[in-house]
Structure formats: structure tokens, C-alpha cells
């Protein structure tokens, strides 16, 4: 079956760096997405990786290794507003999105 695994919850300190991991098993692969969802709000698109390597966007970076079925989202210089859930989703060979359950990130001062 198809499956996405990511940690349920993580805690980090303001100003620090945190890495949120995501492993996937899907029927084919057409890219991996990360979304951010603040409590009570819409998920918003953060990144899309389809080739191996690191994509950097300001304080956020996303990494993909297709051979390992693995991705991570790296958040630097953490701010309190980064407290949110981070959703990993993989697009399979039929262009269907397979979602993880999300990682709730708690930032402490």
C-alpha cells in the first residue's frame, strides 16, 4: 500500500534549527510537497521537490532523496510564528496526492 510517515509532534526553541522528516512508499513518484497549516487556517504551499537535492527558500529548505524515499523540511532561525502543522504529501504515478498525518511543531521561547 501507499504510505507517508512523519513524526506526530516536535518541539524546538526560538532561533534554533529544526528538521522535519518524511518517508514515503508510493506507486510511482511525481514529486513531493510540503504545506504549512496554522491552527484554524488553510494549509498553504511551502515547497515542491521532484529531483534529488536541496531546494532553499529563505529560512525554509526542502530536501529529497528518491532512492531512499525520504524528504525533510529544514526550518532555520525559528520564530514563534513557525508554530504550525507541517504536512508532507507525495504525488504518485496517477498524479494522486498521498498525504502524511502532519507534524505539529511547537516553538518555545
Interaction site with other proteins (CB under 8 A): 4, 8, 30-31, 33, 35, 40-45, 48, 50, 87, 89, 91, 95-102
**Contact at 8 Å (CB) between 18 and 105?**
yes
Instruction: Say whether 82 sits in a helix, a strand or coil.
Output: helix
CA distances from 4 to 24, 59, 77, 82, 107 (A): 4, 24, 27, 22, 24
**Contact at 8 Å (CB) between 2 and 96?**
no
**Minimum distance between the CB of residue 79 and other proteins, rounded to whole angstroms?**
22
Nearer to other proteins, 24 or 72 (CB): 24
**Minimum distance between the CB of residue 86 and other proteins, rounded to whole angstroms?**
13
Nearer to other proteins, 81 or 109 (CB): 81
Cell of 21: 522528516
**Minimum distance between the CB of residue 55 and other proteins, rounded to whole angstroms?**
12
**Minimum distance between the CB of residue 16 and other proteins, rounded to whole angstroms?**
25
Report the distance separating Cα 2 and Cα 37, nearest Å.
23
Nearer to other proteins, 78 or 91 (CB): 91
Nearer to other proteins, 60 or 99 (CB): 99
Amino acid at each position: 500500500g501507499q504510505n507517508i510517515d512523519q513524526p506526530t509532534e516536535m518541539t524546538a526553541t526560538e532561533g534554533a534549527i529544526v528538521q522535519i522528516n518524511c518517508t514515503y512508499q508510493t506507486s510511482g513518484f511525481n514529486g513531493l510537497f510540503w504545506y504549512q497549516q496554522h491552527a484554524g487556517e488553510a494549509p498553504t504551499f511551502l515547497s515542491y521537490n521532484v529531483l534529488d537535492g536541496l531546494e532553499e527558500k529563505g529560512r525554509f529548505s526542502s530536501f529529497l532523496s528518491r532512492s531512499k524515499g525520504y524528504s525533510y523540511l529544514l526550518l532555520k532561525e525559528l520564530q514563534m510564528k513557525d508554530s504550525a502543522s507541517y504536512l508532507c504529501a507525495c504525488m504518485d504515478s496517477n498524479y494522486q496526492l498521498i498525504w502524511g498525518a502532519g507534524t505539529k511543531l511547537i516553538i518555545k521561547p
